Structure 1
Amino acid sequence: MANTEHDELASLLRETNEAEQSLTDQEAITETVEENTTIASSFGDGTFLWDEDPLSGYTPSCEDTRIMEDKISRIEKQLQYLLSKADEFQTQLVWSRNCVQDYGFGNIIPMFLETCQPFFSLLESTARNSNPFCPPQSSNIRMQLLQFSQQLCSRLEQLVLLFASFSFCSLEESDPLSVSHFSIGQCQIDNMKVSIFRYCCPTPFLASSLTGLYKRMRWNVEREIEGEGDGKTYDSAEFYFLCCEDVIEAADDQNEDRSSEGESTETDSESKVSRIWSIGRWVQTYPDPNTEDIIDWVLCSLPCGQYKQLLCLGNEEPSSCTATDCLLGALLSQETHGTFSIIK
């Protein structure tokens, strides 16, 4: 009897220690992110985000260079810490039987993704934010920060897919508790606030029906409205997507000749299917977004819309940073010229 009570007490102590350790790790991650978010304020003021182009008329001093290298080093340490936590969670999942049997272990993923959001916003806003009162940012620094963002994004995507393979989380967008996508930062470009999201795997563009179109990224674009008062007011968001679609290409003359001779064209048929990547906008068709009749909105359980392609990116999937660059370039082109430029 005494041994049984001792075993139960020992088990309870182990569970308590594991819970406290998990909470301590989560607090440590949050504190580290908050510390580096504080660094963002000094990055964001543009004091040391100089342009190394001699035509800009400004040459950074040795002290400026040292301070900037120190800030980049601290941000890189934060990146390595988050990557190491991802590796730790993966190791626990793969090698710990207790974790596999503990369904609460799946809560780590949404918590960890949420914890990484401030760091993503630090990277994206520092690399992309435009401020007319600050000197241009160094292209080398911008590239480094976006590489950090891409590296963490890829690692989190792998981690989510691994947890999903163990049935700890769902990737189905129709599931309210799914982890089909996660935030990878926010930035302010001129009068536009852009929120960036990454889908863990190609996801049907419409959850209610199959259209052959699959989304990989989403951008929520809000445009600032000029008005009275100190606070910023934004218009309703526009939704842009990075999508892919399998397109059947026309057969060439050689394949037609082989077919007429009775030869097998199975391999040739497979080669005709090409995956095309594009960026487009969600355009609502019903209810009419410009209508003032509220009855249509009340009676509509699910708004209907279609995908309007804006940019064709070709056969190769772009990285999340490259895709964001393409969209921002198109949006800024639209602001300047009123039209979208097609990127091949």
Structure 2
Amino acid sequence: MTNPEVQDEVQLACGSPSGQRGFGVLQEEEAGGESEADRMDGLQNTGHGEAEEPLPSLPVVARAPPCGDHAACSGGSCSCQGVRWMERSLRSMELQLQFLMSKADDLHDWLVNGQGHLDREALAAAVPSLLYTCQPYFNHLESSSVVSQHTILPYDVYTRRVQLLDFSQQLCDRLEQLVLTYASYNLLCLDETKPNSVSHFCVGQSRLGPLRVTAFRYCKPTAYLARTDTGLYKRMRWNVERLRDERQTDDEIEDGDTEYYFLCYEDIPNVHTDEDSQGVSHGSVVRMWSIGQWVQVIPATDDIYDWILCEVPQANYHRLLYLGSIEPSSCCATDYLQQLLLSHQTQE
């Protein structure tokens, strides 16, 4: 018989419908005077609802400093309150991180440790549900760490931003490993051309003025185009939606209002390769990373009938930023993309 406690944990992880990935805007609620236990209970109940609805909210302490604008503060008391606020905020976010990481560890251990009494299909369904549950947390971390171009941050604010990005990176890495592990057991599909694929997951949404940026992480390098070998492999995608009005809903966003950017690598032949005595070359290619934009080629228009008749869309890759031979973390790559977008806004 199934262990009731373990079964409850699986049902908790399956809180949202299997496979749903609704990437709405984080709708924060007032934390009020909730205890830490209340906040964790609220976290456990996230992940419910239909995919097209806004993401469930995560009760968090992190709001605005109790004193308001730092520039308007004077005296040491305000500074001390701001420090205490940041400490409480980081502690709250760390507790939520620990909870989500423990859920990922549980799903990993139940599968790898061979607890055969657990239903494999239920475990497999719990993974996409956990990815869905983590999205509000990613959103809050991402929106809390965005800074304007050329902004000089106070040391304490800078330190908090680094810690928040570290939380995001830890959870991203853990979820990626979880998906890869389940895929190695043939319980999840990573082929993005399949309707039930878990090839990528959302790692945060933020606002940059009139732009709404949603980041996605591919669990493994994926061909840039599904049916054509371009030599490019993508690791991240960003949907950049241009909002004409802050109150604009997802249904009101037109196709032309969204641009797509990718973190990709390509293996470039190394012309400086040396051959050994047997004529074998070593290091014949160099892996180069870059951020580029999806430039649509087929279909040639945004007409809905052209899209219906087009089985697989195709696009060129317009390189915007070369990053060298070392793969950047997901947080660093998103930071690079945000700086690109901010620089374009300045030029406009």
1:30·1:115 contact (CA, 8 Å) conserved in 2?
no
CA distance in structure 1 between the aligned counterparts of 2:12 and 2:262, rounded to whole angstroms: 37
TM-score normalised according to structure 2 size: 0.77
The alpha carbon displacement at 1:249 in A equals 1.3
Matches within 5 A, 1:1-344: 11=1, 14=2, 18-24=6-12, 31-32=42-43, 37-39=58-60, 42-43=62-63, 45=64, 60-98=78-116, 102-128=120-146, 138-226=157-245, 231=248, 234=253, 236-251=257-272, 255=274, 263-266=277-280, 269-289=281-301, 295-337=305-347
The alpha carbon displacement at 1:16 in A equals 6.6
Q: Kindly indicate which of the two structures has a greater share of residues assigned to helix.
A: 1
CA distance in structure 2 between the aligned counterparts of 1:139 and 1:50, rounded to whole angstroms: 16
The one-letter code matched in structure 1 to 2:323 is: L
CA distance in structure 2 between the aligned counterparts of 1:238 and 1:127, rounded to whole angstroms: 22
- Identity over aligned residues, as a percent? 40
Which structure has the larger Rg over C-alpha atoms? 1
1:49·1:138 contact (CA, 8 Å) conserved in 2?
no
CA distance in structure 2 between the aligned counterparts of 1:24 and 1:104, rounded to whole angstroms: 11
CA distance in structure 2 between the aligned counterparts of 1:48 and 1:320, rounded to whole angstroms: 33
1:29·1:115 contact (CA, 8 Å) conserved in 2?
no
1:92·1:99 contact (CA, 8 Å) conserved in 2?
no
CA distance in structure 1 between the aligned counterparts of 2:128 and 2:307, rounded to whole angstroms: 32
CA-atom RMSD in angstroms: 3.2
2:241·2:258 contact (CA, 8 Å) conserved in 1?
yes
| Contiguous gaps of at least 5 residues in structure 1 | 1-10, 339-344
Greater CA deviation, 198-207 or 85-94? 85-94
The one-letter code matched in structure 2 to 1:170 is: C
Name the structure, 1 or 2, with higher relative contact order (CA <8 Å, separation 6+). Answer: 2
CA distance in structure 2 between the aligned counterparts of 1:57 and 1:250, rounded to whole angstroms: 61
Q: 1:300 to 1:307 in 2, by over 3 A?
A: same
Q: Number of aligned residue pairs: give it.
A: 305
CA distance in structure 2 between the aligned counterparts of 1:176 and 1:265, rounded to whole angstroms: 47
CA distance in structure 2 between the aligned counterparts of 1:294 and 1:157, rounded to whole angstroms: 34
| Contiguous gaps of at least 5 residues in structure 2 | 16-38, 47-55
| Deviation sequence 1:292-339 (CA, Å, 0-9, x none) | x6653443233221111111100000011110111111111112125x
1:48·1:68 contact (CA, 8 Å) conserved in 2?
no
The one-letter code matched in structure 1 to 2:162 is: M
